[in-house]
Structure 1
Amino acid sequence: MKKKLLLFLIAQFLVGAAFCQQVVVSGKITDADGKPVPFTSIYLKNTTTGTSANDKGLYQLRIKPGTYDVIYRFVGFKEKVEHLTVEGNLEHDVVLDKEIYQLKEVSVNGNGEDPAYAIIRKTVARRKQHLTELKAYSCDVYVKGVQKLLSAPKKILGRDVQKVLQLDSNRKGIIYLSESESHFNFEAPDKVKEVMVSSKIAGRNNAFSFNRASDLQLSFYENLITLDGLTNRGFISPIADNALFYYRYKLLGTDVINGQTVNKIQVIPRRQFDPVFRGNIYIVDGQWRIYSVDLHLTKESQINFVDTLNLSQQYIPVKNNIWQPAFVQFAFKGKVLGFKFDGYFIGIYSNYNVDPKFPKGFFNGEVMKITKGVNKKDSVYWNQNRPVPLTAEETKNYKFRDDTAGHKTTKHYLDSVERANNHFKVLPFLITDYRKNDRYNHTTITFPAFYKQIHYNTVEGFAVNLKATYTKSDEYRRAFSITPNLRYGFSNHLLSLNAVASYRYDPINQGTIYGKIGSDVLDLNNLGTQSLFINSLGTLLYNQNYLKLYRNESVMIGTQREVTNGILLNGQLEYANHKQLYNTAMLDKINQDNKLTSNNPLNPAAETQLFPTYQSLTFRGSALFTFDQQYTTRPDGRFYEPSKYPQVRLNYRKAFGALGSDENYDYGSIHIFQNKIPVGLYGYSSFLVSAGKFFDRKQVFYPDYKHFLGNESLTFNPSIGSFHFLDYYPYSTRTQYLEGHFEHNFSGFLLNKVPFMRQFKLEELIGASYLTQQQALGSLTKAYNSYTEFYVGLQRFIFRVDYGIAYDAEKKVHQGFRIYYGF
């Protein structure tokens, strides 16, 4: 009797367990002509459980046994509800009918306005309500990315494209295939945290997918849609507050879906080249909310890198008439340098929880978390959890690239590649650095390119600057590096030997210890002026020796670490001996040619003393504050997002009049800065404001003055905080200063309206810089000097040309062009 009871209980347990297991409903979705309907959304009615078909119309939905109403939905087709009883794995094909939106007889106003306008106005009036109605939620997100080459040139830079990109004989194929699963969390107004659960990239078993659910978080309830990378401007939503200024609308018809009337409205740009969408938007009547969108951007919208971008969204109710996306797709096509490509990213949102209980401190600035085991899931895991089935082409691509990647991880292959890469080649070394790797010991030795090791200046004459960097690192990005340096001037016969070392012991918190010991020849402007190579060309070809040098012998040790999110501290202590240097080469030309000047920047006509030989014991400390700092955490470190707010850096420097130090002063400064502040359709702005003062300057010598990022070359540094025309040395101060920089990039807002110019997709810029400071002469101070520059510029990718004018007080001192190229 006991045995029978035991067997009965076991049987009941097995039956119960069987019904707790998931089964798979799968099939193919086609239209009436048998053609597949790709990326159809499939979800269970009155739930947020769902999936999507792949680009061949194949789908699979994992659910528990039971009876369900399954909804099949895709833009352009009539929604279909299938009543299914599922007891085990079920094959169920579905045929979708083309959508039929009836255009009923409607009355128009006296102006003959299309009824779509009334619908849009009501939707615009509800825009903000729908944008903010959900205060918090969490959900699961599956993201898949695919990019294909449709055609390609045979060779590029002498290399066989087919072999390099592993394409078929027609130079076609998938070049990028990735999948990821994440748990996404949101709390109003803008707090997010995404935890990646799994990640897979074809052929890259140790890499982390760059798929991020947050990158697909695109809400047309926002007035402006930003698409990072495609343009620096935003795009007007069809239901933005000012949308009627940019769009015309046409009601294509209405349909009743699940008891709700849905309006299909065509959105049409009023002007061809405005930053707007084209396509259709579906609005739920009465609720005046988005049901779905099928919109696209084209070249006329001034997007970069791709020719067309299609955005598709499907919304479903998640709570009491609150709707959220269930499916999002970004599909793109383009052609560049003979490569024709297309691809897509899709996001499937499921298992919404609209009443999450986030613990205190859950949103701590970490917007993305990727743990070590995320990319270690095997094919069995993916076959059981992948919501969108792979196509035959994708399955083949995974196998081919993973097999190839497996071959590339063998000892024989890696050894051969390392030997080839480590092979020294004379001609490339003339212009590029040489690196010698040892993958077994995780070490690298880097030798700078030859042109960086030979230079010429009027202080040293021809000189060698030999250095090499040894680096040893581990998989967590902890790293030790040391750079010994030998420098010798053949004219002044001065030999310098030094070594710089650092150890990054805590990559997550930017923890580093660093130091330097030895002698060196340094720029009198500690912010830098011209590189040794550029100065060599200027001196030898144009008799322009802008670079001014001095001798430094020092020992220094420092450390930095983030003490809490958003506060990075840095401190260092240095004891140094400073010695003035004088010109020893081309002295005859210095006397004959006014272009060549002495090594004293404050007295260009004569080799006079700028400062005596002196010693200094100096402490430097800084604190960088980044408010609401956001970052992604990966096993190999922490990676920071651009700051949404201005950052603040406080600096303090103290020279002690002790232990033989000849200097004695206190200096403090504050820097407030921010890059790329979005200004809607008008592009973005950047600024920097800095002020500083020597509070106690009992003794301070020129190398330790406050210097500025000047420029006297045709080329320039475009970073905010640098000047276009400011002389490198004369404006340096040992009293106090105020400095300001502002730049605005219109991102094509103006030139987009000029028919001939818009084809170049140029970005127009304006900017200004200002500096005022006191000059100290002995115990006396001069009145404040005021320096101002104004400039305009044009930019396209890494190229930029500016034209500006500079004034010292009211006197124009410079005028001309400046050029930047980012390589």
Structure 2
Amino acid sequence: MLTFFSRRPIRISLLLSLFVVIGLQALQAQVITGRIINEFREPLPYANVYVQQLKTGTVSDGEGNYEMRLDVEGEYNLVFSSLGYESKSERVMLVGDTAWVNIQLSTSSFDLEEIVVSAKDKDPAYAVIRKVIENKDRQLRSADSYRTKVYLKAVEESEVTPREEAPKVEVDLSAPDADPFAAEAAENQALLAGLNLVEMEVMLNYQYPRQYKEERTAYQAYGSTNGLFLPIFAETDFNFYRNLVYLPGIADAPVISPLSNNAILSYKYELLGTTYLDGRLVNEIKVIPRKEGNSTVKGTIWIVEDEWTIQQLALELPVGTLLFGDNFRIEQSYTVLGDSLWTVDRLAFYYQSKQGKRKTFEGSTVLRYSDYEHNYAFPDKFFGNEVAVTTSEAYERDGDYWAGTRTEELAEREAKLIHLRDSIQEVRNSPVYRDSVEQLYNKINLLELAWDGVGIQNWREESHLYVSSLASMIDFSPVGGWRVGPYVSRFKRYQSGRIWSNSGNLDYGLRNGDVQGNFSSWFRYDPFRLGSVSISGGRSFEAINQYDAYLNLLRPSNYTLLDALRVGHEIELVNGLRLTSSFSWNDRRPITGYEVGSFLEDVVTDGDEIIDFERYQAFVSTNTLSYTPGQRYMREPNRKVILGSKWPTLSLLHRRGWDKTLGSDIRFDYLEAALEQEVLLGALGNTHYRAQMGQFVNTDDLRFIDWKQFRQSDPFLYSNPLNSFQSLDTSLTTTNLHFELHFIHHFNGAIINNIPLLKKTRIKTVVGGGMLWLQDGDYRHQELFAGVERVFKVGTRRRLRVGVFGVVADANNRKPDTSFKISFDLIDVWKRDWSY
């Protein structure tokens, strides 16, 4: 009995082992293998082997060998294909043993367009990319028009790296004064302070070739939106089938698409592998810039074979061209509708910005597309200059609406943030809470009185009152030196979008014992037509040329005493056509009766005497009509946002001095025409120019203060090249015909990219120049400048562009000369662009 029970486990083990061996042999036997060659007996690397019944397959190796393991015996239909060769189908019966299937493919009857690459560029990825380029026009026109619903989620989260690992604090809940919710409250507060989020729902309308219109039907913001990226489709559609992808608000230069017509000159490609997706063969291709610079991307792109369309892509933008972030990545995926219509399914942007060594801002924007309506019949004139509109209901969507419309899942922290914001929103909007916050804000302390100034807000009236600090009450004037006095301003915003701003100052001159002051009131009465009226006036010392060189503005001889009253109005008559009018009454007097000395006498040498003239009154009107064709804009429920145009802006100005009107003693008429435009030249950069011509057509009584003035250049400092010259050695005036031209071109890295060592410095080259002609004496001044610029980070989103320029100038009354200038330009965080 003992012998029987001791042998039984051995028999079972042997039996199990036998089954395992037989099973392994069966699995090993279910293999299809072989070699793929062409008619010249050459191996075909990376050829495709597709099993129709299983909708799967494999790829041959570098020697044309392949191998597939199948789970089930049976009869299979194998399709062998390779780019440039005719496909071949083979029936295979797989029963027990390994099946050897060697295939010879014949060259296709059509020849691929020749691709010129170096000898080492033999990767099959090049042929795949070429096929996509050949078919991209078909992809661009796959749908002449469509409507689609887009859900957008934009998130920014800040993270602070501690200087050292902080010890974990254990809370003793048994203590009498212990707060069991303190840790949770601190965590919630950190979440509210460190995470910002925007959700938006858009109905996107498109019509070939590049017409977009957004209808923003839902919008909700949690926290600050300053660091979030919210794309405008009319500005850029991130379509990599196009040769260039423009990135306004992200980068100062467009990038060359890896699928552009001449992409082979900018990129190398490497086939990383292939896979089958829903029965389609997808090639995974690595994109490698031949020269890393401001116009190339790097990453991976997935291409569907035979249909030659993008399945997805993940590309990183060049760092040197970014306006704000330290890095920026684009991810895009397509889905097929019907048999062959490929449309964008998901678009995502990931970016990062660092503040110092310890604080990092991580941002992401995800767009999910759904409910496509292709070949949609839009009404006539649906597309136009209005490229986006936000409905009044968009800001009123509640939590239930968003829960039913999201097509991108919220992360845990994002869902928690929304829950916290929604839970406290009712409390924060309550009068009791807002009164308490207002009371705390309006409380005055010594620091505000001494340095910051005092602010008083009224949330019910949506107004804010500001009184200057004691420190800012001290001011300096080139005429007479120090002056002391307060400054007060009040700002009020109405729910209709109207704005009313008032300000004023009053000061006392310590040296001359005189009192001066000014006031200003401005009211935006029509937010959609940008209509506004203003009134201002007062007494002050005013420079004859208010835009002269900095040193000239410190010389008392350039000033007069002015009593003035001004009224202004501006309105957009139709989109792009703006009329600006101003009327000013002026009482002009010399400053011969004032003591003008100050400590600046040791710094600025004023060799000119104070100008003495007879006191007189001047009533002057100025009307400017400007037109920008094709001006694009966004319409919000209570305002209009101008986006710009690809066409130049033409301006016509008329200034008139009125005789005997309100006691006026002058009479003249001045006309001026100006043309200004920014031209985008793709990867070569962008050019900005301004040209203007003026002429006094009536000089019956024209005083020197109203002459046309031209600014003298500053020593060492570079001024805005669209409005001034860099090497004009003196201030000029004229009463006759004059013409001036200014231009500047930023290469945005186009030249530096070709110099291996310099491109690592992230400097960018700039050229420009100007010309001035005066009819007086046939005076001519011309100048050219060239230099380099580099952008420096001065905060999370603040960027400072510093430039060094060499200037060559010539005029018909002096010898050619050279000079060097340094420029400083701080980026506009609202417009996300530079001054020039």
**Is 1:120 aligned with 2:129?**
yes
Which residue does 1:648 correspond to in 2? 650
> Structure 2 vs 1, CA of residues 589 and 474 (structure 1 numbering), >3 Å: closer, same or farther?
closer
Which residue does 1:741 correspond to in 2? 742
Which residue does 1:330 correspond to in 2? 349
Q: Structure 1: which amino acid aligns with 2:683?
A: L
**Is 1:145 aligned with 2:154?**
yes
SS in structure 1 opposite 2:528?
A: helix
> Structure 2 vs 1, CA of residues 713 and 470 (structure 1 numbering), >3 Å: closer, same or farther?
farther
Q: Work out the CA distance in 2 between the residues paired with 1:750 and 1:204.
A: 38
Match of residue 668, structure 1, among 656, 668, 671: 671
Q: Work out the CA distance in 2 between the residues paired with 1:715 and 1:448.
A: 31
1:144 CA drift (Å)? 1.5
Cα RMSD after superposing both structures: 3.9
What TM-score results when the alignment is normalised by the length of structure 1? 0.75
SS in structure 1 opposite 2:665?
A: coil
Which residue does 2:12 correspond to in 1? none
Alignment of 1:140-539 (within 5 A): 140-153=149-162, 175-202=195-222, 210=230, 217-255=237-275, 257-258=277-278, 260-273=280-293, 275-297=295-317, 299=319, 303=322, 305-318=324-337, 321-333=340-352, 335-337=354-356, 338-424=358-444, 434-448=454-468, 453-464=473-484, 466-527=486-547, 530=550
Which residue does 2:624 correspond to in 1? 622
Q: Work out the CA distance in 2 between the residues paired with 1:101 and 1:612.
A: 94
Q: Work out the CA distance in 2 between the residues paired with 1:821 and 1:302.
A: 16
1:107 CA drift (Å)? 8.5
**Is 1:822 aligned with 2:826?**
yes
Which residue does 2:39 correspond to in 1? none
**After the TM superposition, which of the residue ranges 448-457 and 374-383 deviates more from structure 2?**
448-457
Which residue does 2:562 correspond to in 1? 552
Deviations 1:440-486 (A, max 9, x none): 22222234566664333443332246432223321233122333332
1:221 CA drift (Å)? 0.9
Q: Work out the CA distance in 2 between the residues paired with 1:100 and 1:397.
A: 46
Q: Work out the CA distance in 2 between the residues paired with 1:352 and 1:133.
A: 13
**Is 1:567 aligned with 2:569?**
no
Q: Work out the CA distance in 2 between the residues paired with 1:100 and 1:201.
A: 48
1:183 CA drift (Å)? 0.5
Q: Work out the CA distance in 2 between the residues paired with 1:471 and 1:191.
A: 39
**After the TM superposition, which of the residue ranges 611-620 and 450-459 deviates more from structure 2?**
450-459
> Structure 2 vs 1, CA of residues 99 and 369 (structure 1 numbering), >3 Å: closer, same or farther?
farther
Deviations 1:655-703 (A, max 9, x none): 222334322111111121134x332223322111111111121221122
Q: Work out the CA distance in 2 between the residues paired with 1:107 and 1:101.
A: 12
1:511 CA drift (Å)? 0.8
Match of residue 815, structure 2, among 808, 811, 816: 811
Q: Structure 2: which amino acid aligns with 1:345?
A: T
Q: Work out the CA distance in 1 between the residues paired with 2:541 and 2:289.
A: 61
SS in structure 2 opposite 1:120?
A: helix
1:272 CA drift (Å)? 4.3
**After the TM superposition, which of the residue ranges 546-555 and 765-774 deviates more from structure 2?**
546-555
Q: Work out the CA distance in 1 between the residues paired with 2:463 and 2:705.
A: 36
Which residue does 2:796 correspond to in 1? none
Q: Structure 2: which amino acid aligns with 1:234?
A: P
Q: Work out the CA distance in 2 between the residues paired with 1:622 and 1:735.
A: 20
Deviations 1:698-756 (A, max 9, x none): 2211221222354436555436323335467x312222221111112222334455566
SS in structure 2 opposite 1:241?
A: coil
Q: Work out the CA distance in 2 between the residues paired with 1:465 and 1:807.
A: 46
> Structure 2 vs 1, CA of residues 516 and 309 (structure 1 numbering), >3 Å: closer, same or farther?
closer
Q: Structure 2: which amino acid aligns with 1:801?
A: G
1:434 CA drift (Å)? 4.6
> Structure 2 vs 1, CA of residues 423 and 298 (structure 1 numbering), >3 Å: closer, same or farther?
same
> Structure 2 vs 1, CA of residues 275 and 210 (structure 1 numbering), >3 Å: closer, same or farther?
closer
CA contact (8 A) 1:487 1:520 kept: no
Deviations 1:412-440 (A, max 9, x none): 54334434444455656776565332222
The total of aligned residue pairs comes to 693
Deviations 1:24-47 (A, max 9, x none): xxxxxxxxxxxxxxxxxxxxxxxx
SS in structure 1 opposite 2:395?
A: helix
CA contact (8 A) 2:668 2:698 kept: yes
SS in structure 2 opposite 1:387?
A: coil
Q: Work out the CA distance in 2 between the residues paired with 1:284 and 1:260.
A: 7
1:398 CA drift (Å)? 1.3
SS in structure 2 opposite 1:134?
A: coil
1:509 CA drift (Å)? 0.9
Q: Work out the CA distance in 1 between the residues paired with 2:728 and 2:485.
A: 28
What TM-score results when the alignment is normalised by the length of structure 2? 0.74
Deviations 1:606-658 (A, max 9, x none): 3343x532222222111121221111111231111133222122111122223
Which residue does 2:102 correspond to in 1? none
Which residue does 1:600 correspond to in 2? none
CA contact (8 A) 1:176 1:202 kept: yes
Deviations 1:51-102 (A, max 9, x none): xxxxxxxxxxxxxxxxxxxxxxxxxxxxxxxxxxxxxxxxxxxxxx999666
1:196 CA drift (Å)? 0.8
Q: Work out the CA distance in 2 between the residues paired with 1:517 and 1:99.
A: 81
SS in structure 1 opposite 2:732?
A: coil
**After the TM superposition, which of the residue ranges 237-246 and 410-419 deviates more from structure 2?**
410-419
1:138 CA drift (Å)? 1.6
SS in structure 2 opposite 1:732?
A: strand
Q: Work out the CA distance in 1 between the residues paired with 2:535 and 2:306.
A: 68
1:758 CA drift (Å)? 4.2
Q: Work out the CA distance in 1 between the residues paired with 2:384 and 2:230.
A: 21
Q: Structure 2: which amino acid aligns with 1:140?
A: K
CA contact (8 A) 1:103 1:253 kept: no
Q: Work out the CA distance in 1 between the residues paired with 2:655 and 2:560.
A: 21
Q: Work out the CA distance in 1 between the residues paired with 2:496 and 2:712.
A: 39
CA contact (8 A) 1:102 1:254 kept: no
CA contact (8 A) 1:142 1:180 kept: yes
Q: Structure 1: which amino acid aligns with 2:220?
A: K
SS in structure 2 opposite 1:628?
A: coil
CA contact (8 A) 1:522 1:552 kept: yes
Q: Work out the CA distance in 2 between the residues paired with 1:616 and 1:182.
A: 54
Runs of 5+ in structure 2 lacking a partner? 1-54, 65-81, 85-113, 165-181, 792-798, 828-836
SS in structure 2 opposite 1:509?
A: coil
Q: Work out the CA distance in 2 between the residues paired with 1:208 and 1:227.
A: 15
Q: Work out the CA distance in 1 between the residues paired with 2:258 and 2:354.
A: 28
CA contact (8 A) 2:479 2:541 kept: no
CA contact (8 A) 2:296 2:317 kept: yes
Q: Work out the CA distance in 1 between the residues paired with 2:816 and 2:284.
A: 61
> Structure 2 vs 1, CA of residues 693 and 439 (structure 1 numbering), >3 Å: closer, same or farther?
same
> Structure 2 vs 1, CA of residues 547 and 375 (structure 1 numbering), >3 Å: closer, same or farther?
farther
Work out the percentage of aligned pairs sharing the same amino acid.
Answer: 24
Q: Work out the CA distance in 1 between the residues paired with 2:229 and 2:259.
A: 33
Q: Work out the CA distance in 1 between the residues paired with 2:488 and 2:627.
A: 34
CA contact (8 A) 1:683 1:747 kept: yes
> Structure 2 vs 1, CA of residues 136 and 804 (structure 1 numbering), >3 Å: closer, same or farther?
same
Which residue does 1:77 correspond to in 2? none
Which residue does 1:784 correspond to in 2? 779
